[in-house]
Amino acid sequence: MRKLQARLGACSALEGGADIAQKAECLHDIQVAQTELQEARTKRKAVARKVTLDSLPVEDSPTQL
């Protein structure tokens, strides 16, 4: 994400040499990366953090606490 933002900054820092198409491509890449990051965050939040002993298979359950 930071590399894409740095690339956008480098494109806009150039005097007259930066195309609108290059800036648009950089912005598009940033937006795609942001949506992928948001999807990954929602997936991680949906994962159960704790495992109950009843949900473990017999071979994985502890024999003594």
Containing domain of residue 30, as a range? 2-42
Tell me, yes or no, if the pTM score tops 0.75: no
49 lies in some domain: no
Does 57 map to a domain?
A: no
Euclidean distance between the first and final Cα of the chain, in Å?
45
- Mean pLDDT score of the chain, rounded to an integer? 80
Domain-located, residue 61 = no
Q: Which of 55, 1, 61, 52 is nearest to 26 (CA)?
A: 1
Question: Of residues 28 and 24, which shows the higher confidence score?
Answer: 28
Give 15-27 pLDDT, tens digit per residue. 555 577 777 888 8
Rg (CA), the chain: 23
Question: Does the pLDDT at position 64 exceed 60?
Answer: yes
| 33-57 average pLDDT score | 88
Q: How many domains, the chain?
A: 1
8 assigned to some structural domain: yes
Question: Per the domain annotation, does 34 fall within a domain?
Answer: yes
Q: Please check the confidence at residue 38 and state whether its pLDDT lies above 90.
A: yes
The answer to whether position 50 is within a domain reads no
